[in-house]
Amino acid sequence: MSTLTLSLIQSNLHWGDKNSNLEMFEKKIREIKERTEIIILPEMFSTGFRTDPADFAEKIDGPSVEWMKKMAGEKNAIITGSLIIEEEGAYYNRLIWALPNSQLGFYDKRHLFAFAGEDNQYKAGRKRLIASVKGWRVNLLVCYDLRFPVWSRQAPSGPEGFEELEYDLLIYVANWPDRRSHAWKSLLLARAIENQCFVAGVNRTGEDGNGLAHSGDSMMLGPLGEIFYHGRAAEEVFTMTLEKEHLIETRKKFPFWRDADDFAIHL
């Protein structure tokens, strides 16, 4: 059966300092000794969570994306995380999926955090990105998307049932504050159980420029809600190999997807 190895990088961020953040992540990535296939960075990993995008936005061919392509090629692994991207006069909180061959996929954050004014500065995405790696399907989402289960809801996509569900792994990248860490941990667990999938949630640590503390609490979860990894407040890198056989056996033994409601999302 197929395996997939992930590296989750939980780190503090230099507030608004792109060069320092890229240098810091470059060092952490190069220190990963295990053979890994996907390296996951936090939301807005080059700046911290900013609601002043005009001062920090780059084009899709800007230096931060070029850095991701360079590191993906160097490590022969996919690098993913979100950046502030400007396109045709609009700003996006855009998750980049950088492949070792320099090809890119991207997902624009659908649910913008109005509580902090993100919706006033950024444009919301209108479609999901489900990437494919070694026969694994990976659903890529950003931070506040976690609170909206319909957007990530698993649905059978073919007659084979458990073998034809939409995705196998759900990834969330985040700048989720410590004061709401209970929601972060609880909702990651819920998304894994309800969608019968692996879930990787990667959050930052430390205090940002607005004085908000971040407790990390990055997690790697199994399709029954098993907690394989729970980072605390420290900076750390966690690497784990996932087994497709465990996922398929879980869906065979507990075929709850058969009883799910049919629905459609209208944008």
In CATH, what number is assigned to the domain containing residue 227?
3.60.110.10
Is the separation of the CB atoms in 1 and 243 below 8 Å?
Answer: yes
* pLDDT attached to residue 163: 54
Q: Name the active-site residue from 43, 69, 75, 118.
A: 43
- The predicted model gives 4-15 an average pLDDT of 98
* pLDDT attached to residue 259: 87
Domain extent at residue 254: 3-258
Residue 34 lies in a domain: yes
Q: Name the active-site residue from 75, 143, 185, 197.
A: 143
Residue 266 lies in a domain: no
75-131: pLDDT as tens digits? 999 999 999 999 999 999 999 999 999 999 999 999 999 999 999 999 999 999 999
State the chain's mean pLDDT as an integer.
95
- The predicted model gives 236-256 an average pLDDT of 95
Q: Is the pLDDT of residue 263 over 60?
A: yes
Q: Is the pLDDT of residue 156 over 70?
A: no
* pLDDT attached to residue 158: 54
Residue 267 lies in a domain: no
Instruction: Please state, as a whole number, how many other Cβ atoms lie within 10 Å of the Cβ of residue 80.
Output: 28
Q: Is the pLDDT of residue 136 over 70?
A: yes
- The predicted model gives 247-254 an average pLDDT of 94
pLDDT band at 3 (very low <50, low <70, confident <90, very high): very high
* pLDDT attached to residue 159: 54
Residue 206 lies in a domain: yes
**197 counts as catalytic:** no
Side-chain half-sphere of 223: how many Cα atoms within 13 Å? 25
* pLDDT attached to residue 42: 98
**69 counts as catalytic:** no
Residue 214 lies in a domain: yes
Residue 155 lies in a domain: yes
Number of domains in the chain: 1
Residues of the chain above pLDDT 90, percent: 90
- The predicted model gives 30-55 an average pLDDT of 98
Residue 90 lies in a domain: yes
- The predicted model gives 62-70 an average pLDDT of 98
* pLDDT attached to residue 261: 86
CA angle 28, 36, 227 (to 5 degrees): 90
Residue 194 exposed, middle or buried by CB count within 10 Å (0-12, 13-18, 19+): middle
* pLDDT attached to residue 264: 83
214: tokens are 């971040």
Q: Name the active-site residue from 28, 75, 109, 185.
A: 109
> How far is 40 from 201, CA to CA, in rounded Å?
9
* pLDDT attached to residue 160: 54
pLDDT band at 1 (very low <50, low <70, confident <90, very high): low
